Structure 1
């Protein structure tokens, strides 16, 4: 993995990166770039060379814009001019992502940074570099050349070591969530996911892990998880991972949908919709990674994560549309569509959290509905909560992390659509507003935590169809960065 370190003097300088920013609008109205003074003077007159090159290269200075100048026979051998836009954390994240791609074939680069570099800007740059350099490949071919080292040239590197370390941990956990989600379901089943969690917790001994298998799930009444996993030869699991520091004053429970593959069950999906269903456990991957991150960063908040894991397959033992499922705690659901399976496993986990764990706050993440993408597009999650303060705080963390969500309504009038003649609830009403109705269904299982619960439907942004900024094609790890930002903000 790419190593990023703050330094005070350049060593082994092969590629030097110098920042440029937009100047005031030129008389013709076009923005032009100007070099940004750096904390440490770059060597060999490169600053003067950059100043001369900027107008010739017609740079605007927008975040992520890059121009390369070759310098044969001199050190550094290459000079990169990097647009940093307004210098905000977001702009530096975009700049770092663009730089990671532009310098992908280099082994080492040095970035001369401005003297007024803020911790947020350092964090954005570091995360952008690490996340945009992510690749997932299953092949016997050798790995292609990759950027392996970045030096951040700063006047006082020690002042930024903690920020860089936090960004590296955040990026590492996001990359872990991407790895878990990208892994094909030919390798990935509930027990495989459990094994990955066990491996990831090996270096974090303060975490407590409990895994329930089919016998325990049956004995304790987790009927939704058992029903969804009943059609597969790979039996379901429930992961409970707990980070409980001594100084914690707030207890948060995170719940993540963990369907390791979703055929749709008897309500089978068409092949194009089924092909990427290895991503249907992205919510579980995100909450597990965020909890690992909280432990690695020693955040002073208790975090308990629940990851209900199942494979939704078609067989003689698969649950059927029209079945009535008895969930943990006794509430029943009439299943109208076996492809609406995620809410059934979440219902068990949410009830268990509310009745047994009794946290201060309850949040779930789920690749729950295609309606999310219809309403908000590919890059934005749908957020639901009755708690205005919680919604504002989480949205602020999502925005700061560079992810996106939009708060959606929980219409009281729609609750009547959940009514079943033979059970407490329909699992998936057919009146439209799919994302809203799914959220209303989940709310019914939150009990006394209803006013302290928040739901994120993140099906669409959990996957990227191509490279974009710090995202790479495939799983995005959506939610890890946002959750860590939010958890770090809790008093």
Structure 2
């Protein structure tokens, strides 16, 4: 979709006007109302439109703009709005017209949302509109396509937006990364399995990313047995994809690490059949990493970043890992596997070790759809943030807020580490139902060297949505891509 910026009010098509609660005297609304000889305000009075959040009023073909359709969008109280709502504005506007038209215009002149106004608001709204305009329709062949149109052009109208197009280019690269992540998560597991996923990662080479793929033989030589153990019941070979973007000179890289379980049956600890189809998105953490690497390369980020994703399929089979097996990780630590459905942490353990041994990162962030417990704690509103480093936590929380992909810090302490003590090995892979997300994070912490800033993001509740939201249609959200990109912008670009 093309995003354009202009100071001129169009006189045809859909014209979307955001309205703060009880602010029907805004300059935007007054200007349009004057063009329509008062028709817009008359309609607002008749409909008792006040600008409450989620409220919308359509005024078709008013006098003076007879070839236009005016849509008033209620935003709610200005004091309640954040930077997330600035992105949401563009998404809300796009959602109003998707399926009705292929072009639309959004008026923002004089508007401020979450401290953003002018060019900053215009770019945020444009980004939100792009994000909401996603559609995955690859597998509808003989049946009718979805009964909707996607937008082809979206104009943002306001004064002082001359440089907005220039700034929008970087955001478009980030959106491409989000869309790539969404595509990966949405693909069916018979199409996207570890072997084919690894080849999809190679698509980043055209952007200047160095991509290295390790197969099972390569990983076996390195002793990556916790990762390999998860995939040993599958006919699809496990893979490790390493993506390097070097835009920052000789400095040590920042490492992003993702769980890529392309389908999770639970293995021998088999999940219930009802709802198991959702487990194609158990690779959402890896998709966020791959999408972020695409975004960083696409906008030519001035930073060194390495993305590493462990790709496995967790299947029950005569060769599958058993509950009570003990495996030796790449770090040399041993793990008693009591539940084969707690597999993501086993994958990440070896990838964390690999990242530290071969890339000597200045800091690490891992992302994973790791536990159902995080959904019980945070629902689908936040990703869970686990780290022992307060400063690192604050920097991630700040970037997440700016990006509109928010995190909530969760506890990670000595008590959670005690939960994973094993009677016969260095640790066990589950700590019980209580504090399950924290004990999972404590497991990962055992594979991180003490002097490296590290954080674990549990995104089980945010990688997939069962209903539409401001900046995504229901389905894969691509959560994590914008967060990671913002984190690089805030602290790692020269």
Label 1:40 to 1:52 Cα distance change in 2 as closer, same or farther (>3 A): closer
Q: Which residue of 2 aligns with 1:442?
A: 444
Q: Which residue of 1 aligns with 2:19?
A: 20
Contact kept in structure 2, 1:238 and 1:307, CA below 8 Å: yes
- Give the drift of 1:247: 4.1
Label 1:202 to 1:11 Cα distance change in 2 as closer, same or farther (>3 A): farther
Separation of aligned partners in 1, 2:30 and 2:223: 63
Separation of aligned partners in 1, 2:422 and 2:257: 26
Secondary structure, counterpart of 1:397 in structure 2: helix
Superposed, which structure 2 residues align to 1:67-216 within 5 Å? 67-71=57-61, 74-85=65-76, 86=78, 88-104=82-98, 105-115=100-110, 117-137=117-137, 138-140=139-141, 141-142=144-145, 144-199=148-203, 201-205=204-208, 207-216=209-218
Secondary structure, counterpart of 1:173 in structure 2: helix
Label 1:469 to 1:350 Cα distance change in 2 as closer, same or farther (>3 A): same
**CA offsets 1:353-410 (integer angstroms, 9 cap, x no match):** 2222111111100111111111121222211111111101101111222223211111
- Give the drift of 1:134: 1.9
Q: Which residue of 2 aligns with 1:28?
A: none
Q: Which residue of 2 aligns with 1:233?
A: 235
**CA offsets 1:445-486 (integer angstroms, 9 cap, x no match):** 012345x11001111111111112223211111111111111
Contact kept in structure 2, 1:15 and 1:80, CA below 8 Å: yes
1:257 equivalent among 259, 263, 269 = 259
1:472 to 2:473 alignment:
yes
Q: Which moved more, 1:152-161 or 1:434-443?
A: 152-161
TM-score normalized by the length of structure 1: 0.91
Separation of aligned partners in 2, 1:115 and 1:375: 39
TM-score normalized by the length of structure 2: 0.90
Contact kept in structure 1, 2:216 and 2:237, CA below 8 Å: yes
Separation of aligned partners in 2, 1:325 and 1:470: 42
How many positions carry a matched residue from both structures?
478
Moved over 6 A (4+): none
Q: Which residue of 1 aligns with 2:341?
A: 339
- Give the drift of 1:343: 0.5
Secondary structure, counterpart of 1:158 in structure 2: coil
Contact kept in structure 2, 1:17 and 1:82, CA below 8 Å: yes
1:417 equivalent among 394, 416, 419 = 419
Q: Which residue of 1 aligns with 2:114?
A: none
Contact kept in structure 1, 2:256 and 2:365, CA below 8 Å: yes
Separation of aligned partners in 1, 2:196 and 2:105: 40
Q: Which residue of 1 aligns with 2:6?
A: 7
Q: Which runs of 5+ in 1 are unaligned?
A: 23-31
2:48 equivalent among 58, 66, 73 = 58
Secondary structure, counterpart of 1:447 in structure 2: coil
Q: Which residue of 2 aligns with 1:348?
A: 350
Q: Which residue of 1 aligns with 2:35?
A: 45
Contact kept in structure 2, 1:19 and 1:82, CA below 8 Å: yes
Contact kept in structure 2, 1:362 and 1:453, CA below 8 Å: yes
Contact kept in structure 2, 1:256 and 1:308, CA below 8 Å: yes
Label 1:101 to 1:426 Cα distance change in 2 as closer, same or farther (>3 A): same
Contact kept in structure 2, 1:173 and 1:292, CA below 8 Å: yes
Superposed, which structure 2 residues align to 1:274-353 within 5 Å? 274-353=276-355
- Give the drift of 1:335: 0.4
Separation of aligned partners in 1, 2:490 and 2:127: 19
- Give the drift of 1:88: 4.8
Contact kept in structure 2, 1:44 and 1:75, CA below 8 Å: no
Separation of aligned partners in 2, 1:178 and 1:307: 16
Secondary structure, counterpart of 2:274 in structure 1: helix
- Give the drift of 1:95: 2.6
Over the residues paired in the alignment, what is the CA RMSD in angstroms?
2.4
Separation of aligned partners in 1, 2:245 and 2:482: 17
**CA offsets 1:220-274 (integer angstroms, 9 cap, x no match):** 2211221111111110000000111144756210000000000000010001242
Separation of aligned partners in 2, 1:314 and 1:335: 15
